[in-house]
């Protein structure tokens, strides 16, 4: 199996976010064939088509280039108001432009959502999945990943729940197989 470069998109800006902690757990448990790295969104200006072309912010160009270099994308998102956070939607918009030159095209992906609530970010997970076919991103259908009650699963700044860690291992192993099947 070839080593695959995975862009991990965390839809939370908070340094100590639960979603970021789950992303780190996935990175730690990834099989040797996945080289996973978080692509930061905090400095990505809001998308405005007026700023395309010669006026495109350097952060947009760097983000698009980083996504193009990836073999696949792992979206890790919290749920805000039954949807994805604005920063994640903005990243999707930035990466999808200019029209016809989307950085996302053909990248296999997976979605994991995280929430202190019992539903585990179900709304955000499925809302994000609505955009992925349009972006030409084959999304791993199973196992679906909703991590609920996350606040009680973190101790000393890291994921400490054995059952959740085991599920995440199953998820990241399935993602590795999905990437290998679909990466070009």
21-58 per-residue burial string, b: 16 or more CB within 10 A, e: under 16: bbbbbbbebbeeebebebbebeebeebeeeeeeeeebe
Q: What is the mean pLDDT of the chain?
A: 96
The angle, 0 to 180 degrees and rounded to 10, between the axes of the packed helices 18-29 and 162-182 is 70
Residue span of the structural domain in which 74 resides? 4-182
15-72: pLDDT as tens digits: 899 999 999 999 999 999 999 999 999 999 999 999 998 889 999 999 999 999 999 9
Provide the pLDDT for residue 55. Answer: 86
Nearest to 138 by CA among 112, 167, 175: 175
Q: Which percentage of the chain shows pLDDT scores above 90?
A: 93
Cβ–Cβ < 8 Å for 126, 112: no
Q: Where are the beta strands (DSSP E) in the chain?
A: 4-10, 34-39, 72-78, 109-114, 145-147, 154-155, 158-159
115-139: pLDDT as tens digits: 999 999 999 999 999 999 999 999 9
Cα–Cα distances in Å, from 1 out to 38, 70, 101, 123?
22, 16, 29, 34
| pLDDT of 1 strictly over 70 | no
Total tally of structural domains belonging to the chain: 1
What pTM value is reported for the model? 0.97
| pLDDT of 84 strictly over 80 | yes
Q: What is the CATH number of the domain that holds 118?
A: 3.40.50.360
């Amino acid at each position: 199996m070839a080593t695959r470069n995975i862009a991990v998109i965390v839809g939370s800006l908070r340094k100590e976010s639960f979603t970021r902690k789950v992303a780190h757990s996935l990175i730690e448990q990834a099989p040797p064939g996945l080289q996973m790295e978080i692509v930061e969104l905090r400095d990505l200006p809001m998308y405005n088509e007026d700023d395309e072309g010669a006026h495109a912010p350097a952060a947009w160009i760097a983000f698009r280039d980083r996504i193009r270099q990836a073999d696949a994308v792992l979206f890790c998102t919290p749920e805000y108001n039954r949807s994805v956070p604005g920063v994640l939607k903005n990243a999707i918009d930035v990466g999808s432009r200019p029209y016809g030159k989307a950085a996302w095209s053909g990248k296999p992906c997976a979605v994991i959502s995280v929430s202190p609530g019992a539903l585990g970010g179900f709304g955000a997970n499925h809302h994000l999945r609505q955009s992925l076919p349009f972006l030409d991103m084959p999304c791993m259908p199973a196992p679906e990943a909703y991590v609920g009650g996350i606040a009680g699963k973190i101790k000393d700044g890291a994921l400490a729940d054995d059952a959740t860690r085991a599920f995440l291992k199953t998820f990241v192993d399935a993602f590795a197989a999905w990437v290998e099947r679909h990466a070009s």
